[in-house]
Amino acid sequence: MGKITLKDVEYVAGLAQLRLTEDEKNRLVREMDDILAYMDQLNELDTDAVEPMMHAMEMTNVFRQDETGASLPREEALMNAPMHDGEYFLVPRILEGDTA
């Protein structure tokens, strides 16, 4: 019996906005448990004094002149949208009830 339970998988799926089938959930309990157990080998190392490597390149802010350049034309920005009205992306209604 590992550390990952069905409840954990359901909780994480909720955070990740995924809806899983019972089969997928059961599989993930097993697989995540295996993989996380493997990852636990990192605990063999004492890293208290180690600075985490948070960036691939140790760089400071990259600045540029604040100049307006060309931007994507609206019709191209919208061309892949599943729904749009020519001006905006459209999504299912967010607020309940009738809009007055």
Partner 1 sequence: MNTPWHYQSAREIRDAVRSGAASATAMTEWHLDRIAEVDPLVDAFTQVWRDEALAQAAAVDEKARRGDALGPLAGVPVGLKELLCTRTGTTSCASKILKDFRSPYDGTVVKRMAAADAVFLGKVNMDEFAMGSSTERSTIKVTRNPWNLKCVPGGSSGGSAAAVSAGECAISLGSDTGGSIRQPAAMCGCVGIKPTYGRVSRYGLVAFASSLDQIGPLTRTVEDAALTLNVICGRDPLDSTSADLPAEDFTAALTGDVRGLRIGLPAEYFTDALNTEMREKVEAAVDVFRREGAEIVPVSLPHANYAIAVYYIICTAEASANLARFDGVRYGFRHPAAKSVEEMYVLTKSEGFGPEVKRRIMLGTYVLSSGYYDAYYLKAQKVRRLIKRDFDEAFEKCDVIAGPTSPIPSFEFGTKTDNPLEMYLADIYTISTNLATLPGISIPCGLTASGLPAGLQMMARPFNEAALLRAAHCHEQKSGVRLGEPPVA
Return the structure tokens found at 21: 């089938």
Least Cβ distance, residue 71 to partner 1 (angstroms)? 11
Residues making contact with partner 1 (CB under 8 A): 8-9, 12-13, 15-20, 24, 28, 31-32, 34-36, 38-39, 41-43, 45, 47, 50-57, 59, 62, 64, 72, 76-77, 79-83, 89, 91-94
Least Cβ distance, residue 100 to partner 1 (angstroms)? 20
Least Cβ distance, residue 75 to partner 1 (angstroms)? 9
If the CB atoms of residues 39 and 100 are measured against partner 1, the closer one turns out to be 39
Q: Which residues contact 2 (CB under 8 A, 6 or more apart)?
A: 29, 33, 34, 36, 37
B/e letters for 11-38, b = 16+ CB within 10 Å, e = fewer, are: eeeeeeeeeeeeeeeeebbeebbeeeee
Least Cβ distance, residue 22 to partner 1 (angstroms)? 13
Looking up tokens 């599943």, which residue turns up?
Answer: 82
